[in-house]
Amino acid sequence: MSIQLKNSEKLRPPIVTILGHVDHGKTTLLDFIRKTKIAQREAGGITQKIGASVVETKEGKKITFIDTPGHSAFSNMRERGVKVADIIVLVISATDGVMPQTKEAIEYIKKSKTPFIVVASKVDIPSANIDLVREHLEKEGVSLEGAGGDTPFLSVSGRTGQGVEELLEMISLVSEINNIKGDPEEDFEGVIIETGKDNRGITISLVVRNGKLEIGNEVVSDGIKARIRGLFDYQNKSIKLAGPGEPVLVLGFSDTPGIGGYIRKVVNSDTLPEKILSESKVKTNFNQGKILIVLKSQTAGSLEAIRNNIPKEVSIISSGIGEVNETDIFLAKPSNALVFSFESKISPSVIKFAETEGVKIENFDIIYKLFERLEELLQKGIEEIVGKAQVVAIFPYENKKVAGCKVLQGKIVKSDNLVLERSGERIGQVKIVSIKKGKQDINETKQGEECGIFFSPQLDFKIGDVLLSVRK
């Protein structure tokens, strides 16, 4: 690296993104740097959202870290991280070397021409092989310091802290060499790195690249205008002002702008373009796949990652961020769709409403479990149980039998196919001829209700047998 320090006036904290393959020690390293327990709290070992925090070096210099997930489904989030970053730290396990997501990250780095530092992680493990990392990088066209190139290369351990101080010093040095500046007196510009929704309303996470942001400022992103009514730092502490290089969570938006977009102060409200559709708006795509789902996610970043990796046999009829609500159930019901929730809250009242309407909700907090479930449904032929009734009595009817039933869950509709089950074993499949409540013919019966079901063919059913309403 050729060292030519530039004028340090108005230098701001560099914005640093850590890229790396899943389980290569990326989050453990960042956890050690921040002295927090984030790595231990992550479901399934995967960081599900882009997080941002500020650390200080022993010389008192600040660095803003953005943690970008390494799982393959989050490639779009990684690309956004590269766009917002001043410096990239590429973490590669010394036990594995370059892996698929590492190659993807290298391509992003080359396209963005962002200064970067390569880190060989997990060097405390006996099987660590730093030379393997060097060899792999050479094949990928990355020229390291000491081998004819100018890309810094360091060895670290997120468990022991080996090499961490050297890494922070190198980040500060690269920042100064590249003259990364920000002036709080210039026009404000930020980049949105995540969006979400909680009991405070829509939340926008952003990094200030230049200028400053204060409570009461009027801002715009993607044509969506807002007045800032709350600012919170990376530790969720309320603040009044955020300056260059600082990550901040913003309250005040009534609609959700897109992730990766710029956010600026409003100069002239009359010149604002029409508000565009955001990530949280409903998108429809009916009858294109074998499985129909309503998709809800806690954050727009995760929502986009899931949408971009959904199997082609699956159609999303509606998607959005926030809690699963009754509207989602209404949307799912007509097309017999499933509701898939990723990290979104589901209230007991919505769960009960879904059961009453015969709509199934499945909740996930690990993204690959969601995809595994979809593959499982595709392999099973997408059979879903939408109603369950138990035979509690048998009535004779014109030399035939009627099953007196109590609906245990969901609902039974006259047009449904029923499967007769005894002690967990399927006896056969039947078609409903009629459903009666007393002497009245009805079209459907719901959970908690009793009815008489006449079906064909007349299988040899017994009291205690279960009738399952299945749809494919």
Question: Which residue do the tokens 């990796």 mark?
Answer: 309
CA 63 to chain centre: 26
Alpha helices (H) along 219-365: 300-307, 326-332, 348-357
Burial readout 120-132 (b: 16 or more C-beta within 10 A, e: otherwise): bbbbbeeebbeeb
Give pLDDT, residue 466.
92
Strands (E), 149-233: 153-155, 189-198, 201-210, 213-214, 218-221, 224-227, 230-232
**Where does 189-271 sit in CATH, by number?**
2.40.30.10
**What is the spatial distance between Cα 58 and Cα 66, in angstroms, rounded to a whole number?**
20
**Residue 254 phi, psi (nearest 5):** -100, -10
> Where in the chain are the domains?
15-177, 189-271, 291-379, 384-471
Give pLDDT, residue 427.
82
Answer whether 189-271 and 384-471 agree in fold. Answer: yes
Burial readout 419-441 (b: 16 or more C-beta within 10 A, e: otherwise): bbbeeeeebeebebeebbeeeee
Q: Answer for the pair 156, 30: CB distance below 8 angstroms, yes or no.
A: no
Positive or negative torsion for Cα 329, 332, 337, 341:
negative
**Where does 291-379 sit in CATH, by number?**
3.40.50.10050
Numbers of helices and strands, H then E, in the chain:
10, 28
CATH of 15-177, one of 3.30.230.10, 3.40.50.1700, 1.10.10.10, 3.40.50.300: 3.40.50.300
Give pLDDT, residue 279.
32
Q: For residue 54, list its beta bridge partners.
A: 64
**What is the spatial distance between Cα 252 and Cα 265, in angstroms, rounded to a whole number?**
13
SS3 content of the chain, % helix, strand, coil (to 5): 25, 40, 40
CA 339 to chain centre: 16
Q: Along the 472 residues of the chain, how does pLDDT read in single tens digits?
A: 544 444 456 789 999 988 888 888 888 898 888 774 344 444 554 444 446 888 888 888 899 998 665 555 556 656 666 568 899 999 999 999 999 889 988 988 888 888 999 999 999 999 999 999 999 999 999 989 877 788 999 999 999 999 999 999 999 999 999 989 888 988 898 988 888 888 888 899 999 999 999 999 999 887 788 999 999 988 788 899 999 999 999 999 988 887 777 898 875 544 443 333 333 333 333 334 468 899 999 888 888 889 888 888 888 888 888 889 887 887 887 667 899 999 988 988 889 888 877 788 999 999 989 999 998 888 766 566 788 999 999 998 878 889 999 999 888 988 888 888 887 777 888 889 999 998 899 999 998 899 999 998 888 899 999 999 877 6
Give pLDDT, residue 41.
45
For residue 174, the tally of other CB atoms under 10 A from its CB is 22
pTM: 0.58
**Residue 305 phi, psi (nearest 5):** -60, -40
Positive or negative torsion for Cα 170, 175, 179, 184:
negative
For residue 325, the number of C-alpha atoms closer than 13 Å in the C-beta half-sphere is 8
**What is the spatial distance between Cα 421 and Cα 395, in angstroms, rounded to a whole number?**
19
Give pLDDT, residue 259.
77
Give pLDDT, residue 222.
76
Q: Which amino acid would we find at residue 178? A: N
Give pLDDT, residue 300.
85
Alpha helices (H) along 212-336: 300-307, 326-332
**Where does 384-471 sit in CATH, by number?**
2.40.30.10
